[in-house]
Amino acid sequence: MKNNKRLVLASASPRRREILSGAGFGFSVRATDVDEALPPDLTPEEAVQYLAKIKNNAVGLNGGEVCVSADTVVVCDKKILGKPTDAEDARRMLKMLSDRSHFVYTGVCIRDAEKQNVFFEKTEVFFYPLIDEEIDGYVESGEPMDKAGAYGIQGKAALFVRKIDGDYLNVVGLPLARLARELKKFGLFT
């Protein structure tokens, strides 16, 4: 029996598109612009799931479509670090992450016409000590400006990472192995 389900990615993130494409997923992109202001007092787990859900619910679905959305944050000292507002904010975040560990949370929401599933993954990342020149050079490259926690593990910041405990692709922005298993529940990729 032929499966007529179609995957929709509700994200403008080039990294999420690359992850899905690299794994051989066929999908269309339908990104939305939503207010990402968080309600007060959410835990990191609740925050990423909340954001993934509002992004997903903003996408209209046609028959047979399954929508996937995600949101990623970095957490250090129990503080959620989103995307830096400017170069100084990026420097501040990178200094905070230097010579210690932090956590990366990605919330994912999957929805079709009948049901919705929301989950998160958590990965611990350990940074080497960073000197000001390394931080300044990285910030000047522009790479940290559109990334949670002011770094992209798949780019130049890979040089900062001593080790990780958990899913590498979760740190990039989409926990692919868990996502594939959850999509099976929606009749995709069985």
To the query of whether residue 89 is one of the catalytic residues in this protein, the response is no
- Within a domain: 189: no
* pLDDT (tens digit per residue) in 166-178: 999 999 999 999 9
**Which helix or strand (DSSP H or E) is residue 93 part of?**
helix 87-97
Q: Is the pLDDT of residue 34 over 60?
A: yes
The number of folded domains in the chain is 1
What is the pLDDT at residue 1? Answer: 39
In terms of DSSP bridges, do strands 6-9 and 65-76 run parallel, antiparallel, or are they unpaired?
parallel
Annotate 59-103 with three-state secondary structure: CCCCCCEEEEEEEEEEEECCEEECCCCCHHHHHHHHHHHCCCEEE
The residues that bridge with 123 in the sheet, in sequence order, are 104
In which band, very low, low, confident or very high, does the pLDDT at 190 lie, cut at 50, 70 and 90?
A: low
154 phi, psi to nearest 5 deg? -85, 0
Does residue 146 lie within any of the structural domains?
A: yes
68 found inside a domain: yes
> What is the per-residue pLDDT for 47?
94
For position 3, what pLDDT does the model report?
A: 62
Q: How far apart are CA 162 and CA 128, in angstroms?
A: 6
Mean per-residue pLDDT, 84-109? 97
Residue at 102 is within a domain: yes
Report the pLDDT averaged over residues 124-144: 97
pLDDT in tens, 63-92: 899 999 999 999 999 999 988 999 999 999
Q: How far is Cα of residue 149 from the mean position of the Cα atoms in its chain?
A: 11
Average pLDDT value for the chain:
93
Range of the domain at 178: 6-184
Nearest to 84 by CA among 145, 168, 12, 163: 145
Decide if 145 is inside a domain: yes
Q: Which of 35, 41, 71, 146 is catalytic?
A: 71
User: What's the token pair of residue 78?
Assistant: 């129990």
In a domain, 1, yes or no: no
The domain that holds 170 is classified in CATH as 3.90.950.10
Query: Considering the entire predicted model, what is its pTM?
Result: 0.92
In a domain, 190, yes or no: no
